[in-house]
Amino acid sequence: MRELIFCALVVVPAVFLTLAIRLVMRGIGALRRGRLPSVDEALSAKPLGELAVMSAIGTALVWALGIAFGFFLLDPGQMCAMAAARSEVYTDAAFAGVVTHHAFPVAATCAWADGTEYDLVPGWINPLIALFALTFVAALLALTAGAVRRRQGRYRSPKGSRS
């Protein structure tokens, strides 16, 4: 179990950051050359594969973070009570319960008897999940387009690349 926690908290984010740094370095290299990459360079398998892996990892990490904010670590009722205790919720009414509790889109909303509601999951979680997921799909589509170009013989391997 410790190995799984270590992997989730250290190794997976480290892989994500390593891939992100590699993509940024490729972009800096293109700027130094003073030209944009050609279609063949843009559709090469290595950077697109790294982008797909990075966006899949990003989707999983942000989703897990959203889950951790809303539920599964403590009972949502306890988390709502903690939010009220930290003065994030200004009400003296009795706690009514958890109104919404979804895994996707990630949501956990607490409600009090006077109509006050408080969302345990930050508002940026679901848009970031969608952004990473769309990036993953776009990278897979570009990988497919590159594979079709290579198969049709319209692809020239970029210099210094083994795609």
Res. 155 pLDDT band, cuts 50 70 90: low
Asked if residues 143 and 49 have their Cβ atoms less than 8 Å apart, the reply is yes
- The reported pLDDT for the residue numbered 152 is 80
* Residue 121 Cα distances to 52, 71, 78, angstroms: 26, 9, 14
Mean pLDDT, residues 32-43 taken together: 74
Residue 50 pLDDT > 50: yes
| CB-based burial label for 20 (10 Å; 0-12, 13-18, 19+) | middle
Mean pLDDT, residues 35-52 taken together: 78
What's at 90, amino acid-wise?
A: Y
Residue 72 pLDDT > 60: no
Residue 163 pLDDT > 50: no
- The domain ranges of the chain are 1-71+125-163, 74-119
Q: What share of the chain has pLDDT > 70, as a percent?
A: 75
pLDDT in tens, 87-136: 666 666 777 777 777 788 888 888 878 877 888 888 889 999 999 999 99
